[in-house]
């Protein structure tokens, strides 16, 4: 009969030393292949630059924090004493626990921290000690940044971000010997998990052509037109910048005004058409909207000089011409998502300047037009970093999609980077097939001219909100945009923070309906009514502060989609006979979702 009081470390024993040794040898063999996959493209000159510039920037930023604490002997002693005080508390607590006495932990584990969910992080004293040592040290480092005086706001923001990234990287949950779950799995499987993990690492390095492209899902489980982007429609126009998709109606009557959706070009349009249950596009069609969607090109060196102006003229303005040919309607409702919304706002200001009145309403999904409070992405934006990006884009004519994808993943690195490192390479498991993460990894390139303009004019100089941006020879003024606007933010958005979207609402000259949805940048938008998830808040005009607005706002359960549909109909509910793609002799080029979306970065 087993003794339930056996020593807690007895479960951490190698079951089969011979099999473990063989698998360890296989692991080392695969590690050699991974190293070769990393080195080969660098030796061949296919990867010509390393991350030394970024590393230099990180060191310079953190050095400014360190300089504050070591420039004064009293502050140096204070910093050291604070750290060692935490360690002494941990040591005293651990000694009491070793002696069988009740002892409070020196530091509490954050309740929502998934990294330390395994029971042995609490029950096993060895792992509990390592965890607390890590939490004390990382909290101390964060405090050092926050309390350092004399730093400008941007430098402090960068330092906070870098310290968080370093702390996330060195977490004991990321290493086999200091993670109880990983250690148990390794010993129980005699190291087979490490063999599989190294095989995954080799595959991902080869897939990334020498750069590590971490799998967040199983790409073999998804195919366009079958279980992704399945809403029926036709491509009815294309040029060097985009394809235009018109979706087939599912109702006999439709709203007279067609609906144009302008998605971001950082990823692909099918975030709004993941599958039948989640598809905003299908839902909008079923409500009686004639939906047109821009599918942006995945650019290469041939589009290097395509700028914001080209995306405006050959994207949005050209599509308005296409919609008129396809429907015989000039008045259009529009939606812009993220950077697609920023482009739409730029286009609206341009149209107001030149007297073009075809767009009658604009809806923005998590869109910034004022970049004062643009969140953690501003960490990557200053003259030095933009110049470095421009230098690299000049070599190829575009920014590789993986660079932007990495930046977005770093905003939530524990969830989007380190959890997959642990799962794929240390547990040796395949990631779960998840359509949203497939889309997330399906990044696109960005033309050099377009991306440089966006970084400088929006993030760095904030020209659009100041009325200083010029496009096609016209100076843009958002206050001249007087059409009704539906401005959707999401409460947990790291990319377009709700405070930033709220502030941008005041830039427009007409009525703005600000709506705040629960969840984040994607889940808060892709929230079909049938799921009955999350909630949203409405509260009229976006004036004063977001906090005051929210205090007076009304909370509604579930999806904001029906509320938006009511808002659209309140502007104009005139109906017309449904229009099928190909009407009025419009040439059909191919079936939706088209060929542009198929091209991988």
Distance CA(495)–CA(240), nearest Å, equals: 28
Considering the domain boundaries, does residue 55 fall inside one?
no
Tokens of 310: 């080209």
Q: What separation in angstroms does the CA of 224 have from each of 210, 240, 275, 447?
A: 27, 22, 10, 25
Contact 454, 341 (CB under 8 A): no
Considering the domain boundaries, does residue 551 fall inside one?
yes
Tokens of 512: 């703005």
Percent of the chain's residues with pLDDT above 90: 85
The catalytically annotated residue of 242, 338, 458, 507 is: 338
Confidence at residue 3, expressed as pLDDT on a 0 to 100 scale: 47
Contact 565, 353 (CB under 8 A): no
Distance CA(243)–CA(230), nearest Å, equals: 17
Task: State how beta strands 259-262 and 332-337 pair.
Answer: parallel
Confidence at residue 421, expressed as pLDDT on a 0 to 100 scale: 96
Distance CA(184)–CA(176), nearest Å, equals: 9
Contact 594, 295 (CB under 8 A): yes
Distance CA(403)–CA(445), nearest Å, equals: 9
- CB burial class (10 A; 0-12, 13-18, 19+) of residue 343? buried
Residue 286 phi/psi, 5° resolution? -65, -20
Residue 427 phi/psi, 5° resolution? -80, -20
The number of angstroms, rounded, from the C-alpha of 210 to the middle of its chain's C-alpha atoms is 23
List, in order, residues 6 or more apart from 169 with CB less than 8 Å away: 413, 418
- Strand ranges inside 378-465, DSSP E: 398-399, 446-447
- How many Cα atoms sit within 13 Å of 306 on the Cβ side? 25
Distance CA(495)–CA(365), nearest Å, equals: 12
Considering the domain boundaries, does residue 27 fall inside one?
no
Considering the domain boundaries, does residue 345 fall inside one?
yes
Confidence at residue 49, expressed as pLDDT on a 0 to 100 scale: 62
Considering the domain boundaries, does residue 65 fall inside one?
no
* 473-501 pLDDT tens trace: 999 999 999 999 999 999 999 999 999 99
Where helices occur in 442-513 by DSSP H, the ranges are: 448-454, 463-466, 498-505
- Which has the closest alpha carbon to 47: 38, 60, 58, 59? 38
Confidence at residue 406, expressed as pLDDT on a 0 to 100 scale: 86
Before 593, cis peptide (omega within 30)? yes
Tokens of 431: 């990631």
Distance CA(12)–CA(187), nearest Å, equals: 7
Distance CA(194)–CA(425), nearest Å, equals: 7
Q: What separation in angstroms does the CA of 551 have from each of 487, 490, 519, 545?
A: 18, 16, 18, 10
Distance CA(526)–CA(226), nearest Å, equals: 20
Ranges under pLDDT 70 in the chain? 1-10, 49-51
Contact 534, 518 (CB under 8 A): yes
Confidence at residue 5, expressed as pLDDT on a 0 to 100 scale: 45
Quote the domain boundaries for residue 496.
Answer: 233-598
Considering the domain boundaries, does residue 422 fall inside one?
yes
Q: What separation in angstroms does the CA of 26 have from each of 31, 138, 192, 426?
A: 9, 35, 9, 14
Considering the domain boundaries, does residue 479 fall inside one?
yes
pTM of the model: 0.92
Tokens of 186: 């390794």
Confidence at residue 1, expressed as pLDDT on a 0 to 100 scale: 38
- C-alpha torsion 443→447→450→456, nearest 10: 80
Distance CA(258)–CA(334), nearest Å, equals: 8
Contact 363, 488 (CB under 8 A): yes
Percent of the chain's residues with pLDDT above 70: 98
Split into its structural domains, the chain has a count of: 1
Contact 103, 97 (CB under 8 A): yes
- Strand-pair partners of 245: 235, 293
Considering the domain boundaries, does residue 19 fall inside one?
no
458 is catalytic: no
Give me the CATH number covering residue 475. 3.40.50.1820
Q: Which residues of 114-124 are buried (b: 16+ CB within 10 A; e: fewer)?
A: ebbebebbeeb
């Amino acid at each position: 009969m087993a003794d339930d009081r056996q020593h807690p470390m007895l479960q951490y024993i190698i079951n089969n030393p011979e099999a473990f040794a063989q698998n360890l040898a296989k692991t080392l063999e695969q590690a050699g292949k991974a190293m070769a996959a990393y080195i080969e493209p660098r030796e061949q000159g296919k990867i010509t630059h390393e991350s030394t510039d970024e590393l230099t920037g990180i060191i310079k930023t953190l050095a400014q924090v360190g300089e504050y604490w070591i420039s004064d002997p009293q502050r140096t002693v204070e910093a050291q004493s604070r750290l060692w005080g935490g360690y002494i508390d941990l040591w005293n607590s651990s000694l009491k626990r070793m002696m069988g006495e009740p002892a409070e932990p020196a530091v509490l584990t954050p309740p929502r921290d998934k990294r330390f969910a395994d029971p042995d992080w609490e029950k096993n004293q060895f792992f509990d000690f390592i965890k607390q040592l890590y939490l004390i040290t990382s909290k101390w480092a964060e405090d050092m940044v926050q309390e350092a005086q004399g730093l400008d706001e941007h430098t402090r923001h960068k330092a906070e971000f870098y310290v968080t990234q370093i702390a996330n990287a060195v977490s004991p949950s990321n290493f086999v010997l200091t993670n109880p779950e990983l250690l148990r799995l390794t010993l129980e499987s005699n190291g087979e998990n490490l063999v599989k993990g190294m095989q995954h690492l080799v595959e991902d390095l080869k897939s990334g052509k020498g750069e590590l492209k971490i799998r967040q899902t199983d790409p073999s489980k998804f195919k366009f037109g079958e279980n992704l982007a399945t809403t029926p429609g036709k491509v009815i126009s294309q040029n060097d910048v985009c394809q235009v998709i018109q979706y087939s109606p599912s109702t006999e009557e439709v709203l007279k005004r067609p609906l144009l959706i302008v998605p971001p070009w950082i990823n692909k349009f099918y975030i709004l058409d993941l599958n039948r249950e989640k598809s905003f596009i299908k839902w909008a069609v079923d409500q009686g909207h004639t939906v047109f969607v821009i599918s942006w090109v995945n650019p290469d060196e041939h589009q290097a000089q395509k700028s914001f102006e080209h995306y405006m003229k050959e994207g949005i303005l050209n599509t308005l011409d296409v919609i008129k040919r396809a429907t015989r309607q000039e008045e259009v409702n529009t939606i812009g998502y993220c950077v697609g919304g920023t482009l739409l706002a730029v286009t609206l200001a341009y149209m107001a300047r030149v007297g073009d009145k075809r767009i009658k309403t604009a809806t923005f999904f998590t869109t910034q037009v004022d970049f004062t409070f643009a969140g953690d992405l501003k960490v990557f934006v200053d003259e030095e970093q933009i110049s470095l990006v421009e230098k690299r884009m000049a070599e190829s004519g575009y920014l590789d999609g993986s660079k932007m994808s990495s930046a977005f993943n770093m905003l939530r690195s524990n969830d989007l980077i380190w959890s997959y490192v642990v799962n794929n390479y240390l547990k040796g498991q395949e990631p779960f097939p998840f359509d949203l993460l497939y889309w997330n990894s399906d990044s696109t390139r960005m033309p050099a001219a377009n991306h440089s303009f966006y970084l400088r004019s929006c993030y760095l100089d904030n020209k659009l909100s100041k009325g200083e941006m010029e496009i096609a020879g016209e100076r843009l003024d958002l206050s001249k945009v007087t059409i009704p606007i539906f401005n959707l933010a999401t409460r947990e958005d790291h990319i377009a923070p709700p405070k930033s979207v709220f502030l941008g609402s005041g830039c427009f000259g007409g009525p703005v309906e600000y709506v705040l949805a629960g969840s984040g940048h994607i889940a808060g938008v892709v929230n079909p009514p049938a799921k009955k998830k999350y909630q949203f808040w409405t509260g009229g005009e976006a004036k004063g502060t977001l906090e005051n607005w929210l205090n007076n706002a009304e909370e509604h359960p579930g999806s904001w989609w029906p509320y938006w549909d009511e808002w659209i109909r309140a502007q104009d509910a005139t109906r017309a006979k449904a229009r099928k793609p190909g009407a009025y002799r419009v040439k059909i080029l191919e079936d939706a979702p088209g060929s542009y979306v198929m091209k991988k970065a």
